[in-house]
Structure 1
Amino acid sequence: MTTSLLPRVVHGRKALVPYVTGGITAGWTDYLLAAEAAGADAIEIGLPFSDPMLDGPTIQEASDRALARGATVASILADLSAVTVGVPLVVMTYANLVMRAGPTVFCARLAEAGVAGLLVSDLPVDEVAEVELAAAEAGLALILLVAPVTTDERLAEIARRASGYLYAVSVMGTTGERAGLADSAGVLAARVRAASDLPVLLGFGISGPAQAAAAGRVADGVVVGAALMRRILDGATPDELAVDIAALRSALG
């Protein structure tokens, strides 16, 4: 599939996709509306999970806080059903939550809540077939991850099966804030862009406007998670977070 969730990328605009942990605060969907107003092209929503193996300490803390508040998949989807956001919403989760409900039921629930895409961060392409079918039946884009160590053969398979956009992991390791953009990011973005017509977004460690601008020079856009979630964990309001997102938007152009 080559369907893109980010058509503006085709017209030259670099994509900005902020990440928000679902249920992090009582009025957490206000952060989604603020992100849209500040220039987000899509928003990734993390479903809090007790064992988030790909997430660093900031996203883990956010998940723990959401779970302590009583956030569940059902409550998060209910919150999404009650709000209208004008950009695509992508749920980022782990296979355990998908398989617990069953891929068909899980994907149908996402679609009913207004979600447009799904990223299962720990599901390898070799095992994606059941989720791929369920996502397609529900009308969801299936976002897949590519890492610096992904072989050319595996990259070709990922590119063939993905839709929405491709998420290029800029460094090996967990999510989190970093001092600069890894050298591997540009090399990986070039490889992925050569393998697919889908937009290629860099994530893992994009921590501020300077890094976003650097990533935008080599990829089609960025995903920014830990830096924004740190702001929310430290008490930033939706309006305050919108200032940070607007700065990223300005840096990307």
Structure 2
Amino acid sequence: MHVLILGGTGDARRLAEALVGGWAGVRVTTSLAGRVARPRALAGEVRIGGFGGADGLARWIVEHGVTAVVDATHPFAEAISRSAAEAAAATGVPLLALRRPGWAAGPGDRWHPVASLAAAAAALPALAGPGGRVFLTTGRQGLAAFAALDGLWFLVRTVEPPEPPLPRRAHCFLDRGPYTAEAETALLREHRVGVLVTKDSGGAATAPKLVAARELVLPVVIVRRPPPPPGVPSVAEPADVVPWLRRLPGPA
């Protein structure tokens, strides 16, 4: 069995470790898009770079004898998830999506769900007010959606250096989770942040900023996830992938 993991998330890394360390005879390849210059170490084989769309992914699957694909990309990686669904359909190779659950608002949360980054930018002037200060944690891609908001000040956190266009009044810094609620609260206080903007990526590594926002009674603009490709089964935890693999026909 050759399992191709479409990675880039902590769940993908944990899945590769579980398969390589606990299932003899299984070949595991994790594919990374290459957007992070120094990715964390991964178990098994690693390939870096795009496939060239659904057709290129289908060719790679056939040429490398892939018998199962697990889409463990970020919930907002729409293009590769769509390509995976099309390539799996074209090749007949089973596809499973590994998607951690999204976050759920609790008592005291002041969430403002929106459908896109553009909608998040449109909501900010009213929420932040003139000269408001915004903590932007939506990743380095898509910052252009906020570039025209000259009346606001942005604290921008990314893993890799962002590329222009950026908001004119922005302080950018690089950091990678996991974070703690205490550190996130201190960060928000230090920079006198009035609004948090984030994507609903789910998971525990970056959730402490939501706890900090609740503690400080701050509004949170949260971008909803795009819908997954239709017809693709999904599980929530890396441990749930192994039973799915064992049920597949073949040498497993």
Structure whose alpha-carbon radius of gyration is higher: 2
Of Structure 1 and Structure 2, the greater strand share is in 2
Q: Which has the higher contact order (CA 8 A, sep 6+)?
A: 1
Of Structure 1 and Structure 2, the greater helix share is in 1
TM-score normalised according to structure 1 size: 0.29
TM-score normalised according to structure 2 size: 0.30
